[in-house]
Structure 1
Amino acid sequence: MAEVKLFGRWNSPYSHRVEMALKLKGVEYEYIEEDLRNKSPLLLKYNPIHKKVPVLLHNSKPIAESSVIIEYIDETWEGPSILPQDPYERAMARFWVKFIDEKCTVAMWKACSSPGEEGEKAKEEAAQLLKFVEEEIKGKKFFGGDNIGLVDFAANFIGYWFGILQEIEGLELLTKEKYPNLCEWIDGYINDSFIKDNLPDKDKMTQVFKAYAQAGYKPKI
């Protein structure tokens, strides 16, 4: 059995952030694709609480939740640091990951997937939350400074996935006029050679999300 296995989903921003962390560290791993509408017995075994991807299996020991997995990767393997070394900066990175995951991403997803009044409220909420991210990234190349780090990986839904969804849904929520600093970060992030080589194909993503929309199926990210 391979020392490291990753249970994931090809179009999941959470799976991809873990894959990018593994690749940044140069860790060899076996990738196992999951069908989230027909979850495998192994996924349910290794993540019985949340029953979702990603799950990292290292020497037969499972670790769930993408931000937890990335911290484990950073502490376990040598290579470029993903979290800052300074304790205060590490704490702030964890704060922004939590803010992005539990506030921004949730509101932005609802803005794309919820109809009527609920969707409008989500758009308003997302617009307000993104202002905080806009201010945080101001004057920086990446959230971690000059190098890609934990918060950049956590913000990959904002940086890539949401752009595709926004285009499909005809939204104008995240624009250069409203969020110039954030959009500058997005441009630098998705065009970074390392990130660019590890993002899912845009055309394939677009086709899948359009098919979901036509079928009335709103997948959970």
Structure 2
Amino acid sequence: MDPVIGEEQVSGKKEVLRILKLVEGQLGDKTFFGGDNLGIVDITLIPFYSRFYTWETFGKFSIEEECPNLVAWAKRCSQKESVVKSLPDPIKMYEFILYLNKHLAK
């Protein structure tokens, strides 16, 4: 299923990017949100990394191009064994969203 870009999707894409850039601005040049160590803010936000693939696919954009520091942060977090074990697979997340769209659109 190829996601179709309509007015609602364009608006959603803009809002997602606005929020991601806001979050990236709070990160700044720090390794993690609290500084040099993984902290509560990182743990709270890292689950959204599993949604990046879905957002990029539906919105036809690259989060890494738009928010490179945020993606670099997510990759650093994912190097922690405790983090990577707790995150859902991005492809499975995307497939689940497709499934929901198909079955809820009826």
TM-score, normalised to structure 2, is: 0.72
Q: What is the CA–CA distance in structure 1 between the aligned matches of 2:24 and 2:16, rounded to whole Å?
A: 12
1:168 CA drift (Å) = 4.3
Task: Name whichever structure is richer in helix by fraction.
Answer: 2
Read off the aligned partner of 1:127 and give its amino acid letter: L
Number of the residue aligned with 1:149:
39
Cα displacement (A) at 1:209: 2.4
- The separation in 1 between residues aligned to 2:40 and 2:54, in whole angstroms, is 23
After TM superposition, the structure 1 = structure 2 runs for residues 103-142 of structure 1, keeping only pairs within 5 Å, are 116-142=6-32
Q: How does 1:1-221 map to 2 (within 5 A)?
A: 116-160=6-50, 162-169=51-58, 171-175=60-64, 177-213=65-101, 215-217=102-104
Output one character per residue of 1:65-117: Cα deviation in whole Å (capped at 9) or x when no partner.
Answer: xxxxxxxxxxxxxxxxxxxxxxxxxxxxxxxxxxxxxxxxxxxxxxxxxx732
In structure 2, how many angstroms separate the alpha carbons of the residues matched to 1:131 and 1:192?
Answer: 24
Gap runs ≥5 in structure 2: none
Cα separation, partners in 2 of 1:128 and 1:168, compared to 1, 3 Å = closer
Larger Rg: 1
- Separation in structure 1 between the aligned mates of residue 6 and residue 32 of structure 2, nearest angstrom: 35
Residues 204, 122 of structure 1: CA spacing in aligned structure 2 closer, same or farther, 3 A cutoff? closer
* SS of structure 1 residue aligned to 2:69: helix
Gaps of 5+ in 1: 1-114
When residues 144 and 201 of structure 1 are mapped into structure 2, their CA distance, relative to the original with a 3 A threshold, is same
Aligned-residue offset at 1:140: 1.2
Q: Is the 8 A contact 2:56 2:62 kept in 1?
A: no
Determine which structure has greater relative contact order: mean sequence separation of CA pairs < 8 Å that are 6+ residues apart, divided by chain length: 2
CA distance in 2, matches of 1:202, 1:146: 26
Q: 1:122 to 1:167 in 2, by over 3 A?
A: closer
Q: Distance in 2 between matches of 1:174 and 1:131?
A: 10
- Give the percent of matched residue pairs that are identical in Structure 1 and Structure 2: 31
Q: How much does 1:186 deviate? A: 1.2
Give the TM-score of the pair, scaled to structure 1. Answer: 0.39
Number of equivalent positions? 102
Contact 1:159–1:189 (CA under 8 A) maintained in structure 2: no
Q: Is the partner of 1:155 in helix, strand or coil?
A: helix
Shift of 1:188: 0.8
